[in-house]
Chain A
Amino acid sequence: MIAHDHDSASTASQIGAYALGALDLEDRLALEALLERSPELQEELRQLRQVVALLPYAAPPATPPARVRQRLFARIAAAQTDAASSRAAPSPTGAMPRRRSGWLLPGLMAVLTALVIALSVATLSLNAGIAQLDRTNRELVADLEQLQQTLAEAEARQERLAAQLAAGQEQLESLATRLAASEERVARLTADLARDDYVISFISAPGVATRQLRSARSGVVAQGEMYMYPGHSSAVVIFSGLPPLAPGQVYQFWFADEAGQVAGKTFEADPTGIGYIIVEAPREVNAFREVMVTVEPSGGSATPSQNVILEGAL
């Protein structure tokens, strides 16, 4: 009982929020139940509603445009006209002069009574139909709103997927680029490996002859070893101790005989000064008298510079 009184007091204390329209549904229902049996609370509500009715004055009043008044009263006038025309329209019973009803035959009266009853039933049925249509309409509106929400969600999902797809494509392109770079590197390494294999098999084959290339400059410890087969035009030369070159310079290999110098390949050494080349002489290697290595501009020269690094007799 005490708990019940306490609940009632707690509910009643929310009368202000009720007047303000700020009660949640559950509290509102509880308060309305209490209001029904409490005249004091009803009076309190009446007073608080008057307080709340002053709150709109706290917003600065503003004169609405004249068109609002015009539209409103045009609407009212139109409604009045409609109402007047529906009143003026002849109706099956209203058109019948009252004084003639006494002349009607009983049979006709019965028919008319039946007609009126039938019309009443039809009206009730129509009303029920309208109510049903109204319910259906509300359901349809609710369904439509649901569909619109679903559509909006689907569109949002589609946008998210499109963004993910774009990101995926970008990632794919990045991977493809990296793959192409990797393939190029693999191809380069494979070519290097094939060349290394060739050099190893060349210099370790039976019958290979070697010639030494020595530094042509004092203070430079570079040296070279040339592997060749008498009667063949191919040779492999391995260098070590080559000094680093300035930018725009390369080493160039030369063959020489009595007729002059024949330009061979250009090459570079690694950072430790080691390098090798596979050379193809214009004729058999042992037909030349000597070889040398010079420093030349990038791309090589047709005639050797004076900057000779290595030289050797064949």
Chain B
Amino acid sequence: MAVSPDPDIEGEVLSDESLIARVAAGDTRAMEYLYTRYARVVYGLALKILANAELAEDVVQETFWRVWNRAATFQVGSGAFAAWLFGIARNLCIDELRRQQARPSAPGAGSDALALDAIPDPQASMDEVTWEAERRRLITSALSELPADQRQVIELAYFGGLSQREIADRLNNPLGTVKTRVRLALQKLKTLLQHQGIGLDDR
């Protein structure tokens, strides 16, 4: 569904909060802009967690569908639209991951489907890609500053959906050690990102 720029709404310069407020009022164009801004990151996240293109597509669709339906419940002013959006996406991914772990594994299409029938959406604008690339550079650089064991617990918790206790079991480490690593890792990430002068809030 192609959307031409709207004279009333310049999505690429409007903040997330302005867009979500318009979405809450039923504005599909604002929804288009939010989709263009974040679908690539949501899809990348889902692909990383689920390693299955078909399921990742479902996650993207369901995430933005929920944004559309729950836009009115988002508290404008909290300055955390991305956190809210990614939280929805990650929860969907982790739920799917746990469903898969609960049932016998079937030989799935895996990521092959991505290569075979994915026609990339041409609507991701260069500005969005630049914004993403900058954010990606920041977080990967900050993560690379962490000791390997701290990076590992972050990876297992966020992308693996494991609780601290499950991580301790998986790594055969004491629970207290895992808790310490998680705490230190997040504090260090926060400090590193703040030192780079990055405002952590939304656009």
Contacts and interface: CB of A to CB of B under 8 A. Distances in A.
Interface stretch (A48-56, A134-142, A188-196, A283-291): A48-56
Interface residues of B, number: 73
A69 B39 contact: yes
Given A20-B154, A59-B45, A64 B60 contact: yes
B183 interface: yes
A13 to B, nearest CB: 6
Nearest to B190: A51
A56 B42 contact: yes
For the residues of B in contact with A, the DSSP-based class is helix
Interface string A5-19: 000000001101101
A231 interface: no
Interface in B91-141: 91, 94, 104, 114, 117-124, 132, 135-136, 138-140
A62 to B, nearest CB: 5
Nearest to B40: A61
A97 interface: no
A250 to B, nearest CB: 67
B193 interface: yes
A135 B43 CA distance: 33
Interface residues of A, number: 46
Interface in B27-72: 28, 31-32, 35, 39-45, 47-49, 56-57, 60-61, 64-65, 68
A93 B4 CA distance: 41
A68 interface: yes
A51 B139 CA distance: 9
Given A16-B183, A20-B157, A63-B39, 8 more contacts: A14-B179, A22-B163, A54-B139, A56-B90, A57-B135, A62-B40, A67-B119, A70-B1
B83 A50 contact: yes
A198 interface: no
A156 to B, nearest CB: 10
Contact of A57 (B32, B122, B123, B136): B136
Given A51-B190, A56-B42, A76-B68, A69 B185 contact: no
B61 A68 contact: yes
A interface majority secondary structure:
helix
Nearest to A49: B83
A76 B1 CA distance: 12
A68 B1 CA distance: 10
B120 A63 contact: yes
Contact of A52 (B28, B60, B158): B158
A239 B49 CA distance: 90
B99 to A, nearest CB: 11
Given A22-B157, A56-B45, A76 B28 contact: yes
A61 B44 contact: yes
Given A21-B158, A63-B40, A50 B61 contact: no
Given A53-B86, A69-B39, A61 B132 contact: yes
A72 B186 contact: no
A56 B60 contact: no
Given A16-B182, A20-B182, A65-B57, A57 B41 contact: yes
B183 A13 contact: yes
A24 B123 contact: no
B187 interface: yes
Interface string B154-197: 10011101111101000000000001001101110110010000
Contacts of B60: 64, 68, 72
A20 B164 CA distance: 10
B121 A17 contact: no
Contact of A55 (B121, B154, B163): B154
A46 to B, nearest CB: 7
B1 A60 contact: no
B147 interface: no
Contact of A53 (B82, B138, B179): B82
Closest 5 pairs (CB-CB, A-B): A50-B200, A16-B186, A59-B48, A22-B157, A53-B83
B188 to A, nearest CB: 10
Contacts of B114: 62
A52 to B, nearest CB: 7
Contact of B35 (A13, A65, A72): A72
